[in-house]
Structure 1
Amino acid sequence: MSTNDEIIDNKIDDLCMVFIIDNQKYALSSKYITEIIEMLPITKVPFIPEYIKGIINLRSNIIPVMDARMRFGISPKEYDERTCIIIIENNDEKIGLIVDAVNEVIHIPDGQSMKMDSNDSDDKPNFIKGVSEINNEVQLILDCDSLVKIVEDIDYALNR
């Protein structure tokens, strides 16, 4: 890999998609986002956590869909024309994340974000990897590994 390729890869790693859940801005590294789609019909699946709304069929791929509001302990709300699904992929696992709205793509260099310590001994998953402040607005940076781990947990629950 040439030096220019490494620089481009580092720039891409610093790009984050900002989306909104209950008037709070969240950011997720764009390298995990495969696409953003409008709401599709969701098929309910029994015996899975309530925050998993079900599954969607996206071009013959079955993808579990999680309501971010519910997963983060925020009251659910009716979906509207701004509600969308962000398709996230990590280590060959995909999940759809239902968010209130997608806002923008921003560049968050390492110096402009503060990492948060994860407490592995805590029973509650920590989805927040860090915090950044850009243009006097705070974004909570999500940990994609924690979000996608839910897919593994669902597969385990369904195949027991």
Structure 2
Amino acid sequence: MEIENDRELLCIRGKKKNYAFEFRDIREICRELKISRMPCLPEHFTGVCNYKGGIVPVLCIEETEPEEERTLVFIFEYQNYQLGILYSGEPYILDPGKYTEIQRPESESACNEIWIEKKMILADEEIYTVLDMEKIIWNLAKFFQGEYMKY
């Protein structure tokens, strides 16, 4: 299925930042997926879930425990790899005419250990970080194939 307008973004509010995702990266938004905790995973990992017969690692963008009332798992896919992001809240869509791309302040880093920023946008006087899900998934795949498997 081809997306007609690939500039619309799916947005979520975090406690520290607002985040946005491009629809082309999202495979599905799931409710009520059971997340199993796994020992020895890095701190950003919430655990793993069974998504259509496959085991998918699930991360939480911020280090807070999600509330149970409205918990979603966004499933992202890049090449043969999948990744879930756990979110408690109501996502919303940002139309292309309602945001503009802005330049990141010099003092801010373009990425941290996991979350790689693609760009920053401004909408309704709020700043959003658009995450580069392809690079994030690729880096996590390399991590699991290399460093993590050494332990």
User: RMSD of aligned C-alpha atoms?
Assistant: 2.9
Aligned mates of 2:16, 2:89 — CA distance in 1: 10
Residues 7-45 of structure 1, C-alpha deviation per residue, up to 9 Å, x if partnerless? x76x53212111122264210101000111124222222
| Equivalent residue in structure 2 for 1:50, among 37, 43, 48 | 43
Q: Which residue identity is paired with 2:125?
A: N
Q: 8 Å contact 1:108–1:132 — kept in the other structure?
A: no
Q: Does 1:153 align with 2:146?
A: no
Residue ranges of structure 2 left out of the alignment (5+ in a row): none
| Equivalent residue in structure 2 for 1:129, among 96, 118, 128 | 118
Aligned mates of 2:58, 2:36 — CA distance in 1: 10
Residues 133-156 of structure 1, C-alpha deviation per residue, up to 9 Å, x if partnerless? 223332221111332122331343
Structure 1, 150-159 or 34-43: larger mean CA deviation: 150-159
1:63 CA displacement: 0.5
Q: Does 1:19 align with 2:12?
A: yes
Q: Does 1:112 align with 2:100?
A: yes
Q: Which residue identity is paired with 2:141?
A: V
| Identity score, percent | 18
The TM-score, its normalising length taken from structure 1, stands at: 0.73
Q: 8 Å contact 1:48–1:154 — kept in the other structure?
A: no
SS at match of 2:146: helix
Q: 8 Å contact 1:69–1:99 — kept in the other structure?
A: no
Match of 2:34 in 1: 41
The TM-score, its normalising length taken from structure 2, stands at: 0.77
Q: 8 Å contact 1:47–1:158 — kept in the other structure?
A: no
1:87 CA displacement: 0.6
Aligned mates of 2:68, 2:16 — CA distance in 1: 15
Aligned mates of 1:13, 1:55 — CA distance in 2: 29
Aligned mates of 2:126, 2:40 — CA distance in 1: 39
Residue ranges of structure 1 left out of the alignment (5+ in a row): 1-7, 71-75
Q: 8 Å contact 1:119–1:126 — kept in the other structure?
A: no
Structure 1, 127-136 or 82-91: larger mean CA deviation: 127-136
Q: CA, structure 1 residues 62+146, in 2 after alignment: closer, same or farther (shift >3 Å)?
A: same
Structure number having the greater helix percentage: 1
1:123 CA displacement: 7.3
SS at match of 1:154: helix
Q: Which residue identity is paired with 1:61?
A: G
Q: 8 Å contact 2:9–2:20 — kept in the other structure?
A: yes
